[in-house]
Structure 1
């Protein structure tokens, strides 16, 4: 009987997964044709397969394909995919190429992206509380939620944009990745505080999450990093990841993702920190990416981006008053991130072109904001109208990220700066050896 049930579930999941990946591939190709990152197409694919289009045109077919049990399986696959992808991003960061003061500069960039967005979002939230908020949510809680949502940067999407352009280990790429990870970690901590307030668990619940997240990062980057060093030696001898090493590099990020999810911080950060804790050796990184990246980026990651759009309903945005409210939210979100990060980059010594390029990248929100607001909607902190508006904010800011980046830093200038970074690396590494 159990075998029959499992077979029945498999026969339901496979068609949904095939359709999901097919639409994601088509939309991804279309996105590339219009100079957008592939991930934006994958995100739009999920929205199209949800109630907004597919569910509106063929509601019975959509409901039959994406039943609750099928969605549960897709959710597990998508979360595993995102966790492993961010693990590979963390493992790919070249620690030895850090510029002097890079972490401090990334911290300045992160704060400059968080504070203006939270302040502007908080102000707009106070003004719109009577229009958009649920009656049982206080103005302070509503405004703080909106500010937190607007402070997010699309960490996974940003990482994939940088990887597609080969920028993950340039000065701009490293600074932006580190700053985005700080931004999103802060936003999740804020969500923990809001959840504690909403569920009346008190400040102790939020404090527990923050302390456990900090302790987790310290343990991973000290104790676990030392324990993982023999992996590098094994790969150096054989030139590849053996079966035992593969078990380790899969179990470590999944365990880290499970733990961060359990403490109240999304699993993506556990995967990323696990990647940062991996050996720094270039041969090890190449072997790791060669074994895992293709499967993760072509099967599991599109499942995450597309699945997340299945629950998105854009029909809630209608009427002049709601459109004005949406415009105010979009303006607050755009200005807070774009100008805050651009001015910060200029203040720490970068040129205006590089500053505006980073401001454009940090302004992309992607699906991290969708995860954030889905939690808020599920817990009854926001209305469906605000949810729909923030979905559009995610799509618009993400769609604008790459064009604004290329406007500030055209391809020829980007190549020149990448070449400059490559010339500086031998000098940096020689300085580290002398030091």
Structure 2
């Protein structure tokens, strides 16, 4: 019988499998260890998984053991990891959308979420644009205009880590509280607007014109309407069948996964990234709480344990943190960090206070909305690949992502200690008026 090595040498497909599987083993080991360490220091597991992804890249693993890193993550494996990471993130955000408790809606919720979204994007965008204008000579490529550079920085800083925020809320059981729902809805709006801005900047930078950017925005709106009206109605028989049998059989799971992946594929084709297609597909699912619970039971463990760490690692493989050296660069980083943190944190906190939430709740939401996670890494990887930003700015924005995400839960718990969270946030909510106020 021929050896496995000889068989792999004769079969390129088997050879690729023998390279992908060790990469997955290393990813899961690192994610498991770092996730456990994160829990030990009172951080969400997802932050540890995010850090694990960065450490497996050139920042640590590639710096200390370059040959080993090349052996574990050779060039031919990275496209496979990209596909797995995209599928994982799309399905995870699908489950987030499907898991929202529609019965928990209160009058005026959409209005309040819209105001929170504006408070998260306008101050951080404004401060980011000002920082970009000031730092253009220091950090920009010469072929990039001052205005284009400034709006890229503003767009990056206006992001909220939608998947990261969702994971934090799920780990604390807050996804269907007033604070959790408002934060998720506002983060979705912020990120969607930021991706539309990136579409405009890419069109300008690449010379494809504003017509292409307008097409992206219009198609996104049409797709959202299609999913939330037409597809939602088309899926009602699926909910009725589950209500009759109380079981998600193979046929139902085929439909569920097909809808989620097709939605992700279409939004990728439109140009706003598959994560939003997955989330919209989740919102279109039947609203029966038992259906949502069964769906999560069938899918969440595999998606969050296997596929999400692949997403974090793929992003980490493209992350270099050696671009910040010297006093000028440190001052530039401090300005970007200050603009990003204060715009989102205080903007959202003041908006929540204006909606008649308590100061504790307001600062808690400001902390959650300030987490940027790896969504900003996706954003800036696109900018780097298209030549819109330098490696130095890329490194600074990576640090912004890590610091703001790491600070999110401690600031949240400082504002809302566990005893107050259980008593005031997780407890049944009081009635609210159509103006959307909470006493």
| TM-score class normalised by the smaller sequence | over 0.9
Equivalent of 1:213 in 220, 229, 240: 220
Q: CA-to-partner distance for each residue in 1:97-146, whole Å, 9 max, x for gaps?
A: 11110010000000001000111000010000000000000000000000
TM-score (norm 2): 0.95
Q: Choose from 402, 417, 423 the match for 2:424.
A: 417
As a proportion of its length, which structure holds more helix?
Answer: 1
- Cα RMSD over matched residues? 1.3
Report if the CA contact (8 A) 1:124-1:332 is conserved. Answer: yes
- The corresponding residue for 1:191 is 198
C-alpha distance in structure 1 between counterparts of 2:390 and 2:225, whole Å: 38
Whole-Å separation in 2 of the counterparts to 1:264 and 1:33: 39
Partner of 2:437: none
Q: Partner residue of 2:28?
A: 21
Residue 392 of structure 2 is aligned to residue 385 of structure 1? yes
Gaps of 5+ in 2: 1-6, 433-439
CA distance in 1, matches of 2:361, 2:244: 41
CA distance in 1, matches of 2:245, 2:12: 44
Instruction: Compute the TM-score of the two structures, normalised by the length of structure 1.
Output: 0.96
- Match of residue 125, structure 1, among 121, 127, 132: 132
Matched, 1:74 2:85: no
Q: How does 1:105-254 map to 2 (within 5 A)?
A: 105-254=112-261
Distance, in Å, in 2 between the alignment partners of 1:363 and 1:373 is 17
**Any conservation in 2 of the 1:261–1:267 contact (CA below 8 Å)?**
yes
8 Å contact kept, 1:39–1:305: no
| 1:337 corresponds to | 344
**How far does residue 229 in structure 1 lie from its aligned partner after superposition?**
0.7
1:51 to 58, 62, 76: 58
Q: Contact between 1:43 and 1:308, CA under 8 Å: does it hold in 2?
A: no
The answer as to whether partners of 2:36 and 2:48 remain within 8 angstroms in 1 is yes
Aligned length: 425
Give deviations 1:338-361, integer Å, cap 9, x for gaps.
000000000011010000000000
SS in 2 for 1:169: coil
Give the Cα separation in 2 of the matches to 1:383 and 1:295: 37
Once the two structures are TM-superposed, the CA of residue 307 in structure 1 deviates from its matched residue by 2.1
Q: 3-state DSSP class of the match of 1:18?
A: helix
Which one of 257, 281, 292 corresponds to residue 274 of structure 1?
281
CA distance in 1, matches of 2:55, 2:312: 12
Q: Distance in 2 between matches of 1:417 and 1:98?
A: 17
What's the CA shift string for 1:61-84, capped at 9, x where partnerless? Answer: 111211122011011011100100
**Equivalent residue, structure 2, for 1:315:** 322
